[in-house]
Structure 1
Amino acid sequence: MPMRVDGDLFEAAKSVGAVASRSAAQQISHWARIGRELEASPGTSPRDVQRVLAGEAGYKYDNLGERDQAVVRASWDEQLDERRAKLNLATEFAKSGRSWSEADAQGHLVKRHHAQQDDA
């Protein structure tokens, strides 16, 4: 659903989103989901959550409360989904000339072979 956002917010989302391979709209949605979780939990520490997600020394997932851990897991799930959507191992293997195995729709093993091309 279309909506208007402040120009500064849009530019920030565009900038931060580029680092995480998200469009400005995807970044704003990401921020909204995290914000929803944070507002639902009065004991949540947004700064600690961000520090865990950034991998800062001294900030560990196990030290967060249950709600903070839920926010971190939601963010990790989103990041994994985005990375999986961009992943195309068949193309990568074919480009490098590597063979690979995978399961077909019925669960049967299928071996894929690609000969490496010689540079002439």
Structure 2
Amino acid sequence: MKTKPTRIDGELFAAAKVAGEIQSRSAAQQLDHWARIGRELEAPPMITHRAIVKVLTGQASDDSRPDSAQAVIRVAWSGQISAKITGLNFEDHLQEAGQPWVEADNEGHAVVRNPGSSQV
């Protein structure tokens, strides 16, 4: 397969890098994957972008759609969720609220974090 150089928005590239790490892909491979999904989204006449948006926003049910259409919608949904998860940072909010939280250390052990306290 022959590749072509192209310019990619920095934010999109960063999102592809994060999503790609989750899927064991490079950022370039993730962008290629997303481009193929986009191509498939636009190709079938049975599912339009408007139909996908209606399902993703809760305005329509996905249950009556063919399996292939449901799969396309699930992929779009997964991409949106991955992008949103990438931008989450609850630590700042919990610290501001003075709420403790639990996270895993490098060995996978649960560690309780107490904001405003020197002990962990």
With the shorter chain as reference, the TM-score category is 0.5 to 0.7
- Which residue identity does 2:104 align to in structure 1? A
Other structure's SS at 2:41 match: helix
In the other structure, the counterpart of 1:55 is 58
Aligned residue in 2 for 1:13: none
Alignment correspondent of 1:37: 40
TM-score (norm 2): 0.60
Amino acid aligned to 2:58: G
When structure 1 is superposed on structure 2, of 107-116 and 88-97 the one drifting more is 107-116
Q: How many residues align?
A: 90
TM-score between the two structures when normalised by the length of structure 1:
0.60
**d(CA) in 1 for partners of 2:106 and 2:63?**
39
Residue segments in structure 1 that go unaligned for 5+ positions in a row: 4-21
Distance in 2, Cα, partners of 1:40 & 1:108: 46
SS at match of 2:108: coil
Could you say which structure has the larger radius of gyration? 1
Unaligned runs of 5+ in 2: 1-5, 16-30
CA contact (8 A) 1:99 1:113 kept: yes
Hey, what does 1:113 align to over in structure 2?
A: 114
Identity percentage of aligned residues: 37
| Corresponding position of 1:16 | none
In 2: Cα distance, 1:109 partner to 1:54 partner: 35
**What's the counterpart of residue 105 of structure 2?**
104
- Structure (1 or 2) with the greater helix fraction: 1
CA shift in 2, pair 1:72/1:109, >3 Å:
same
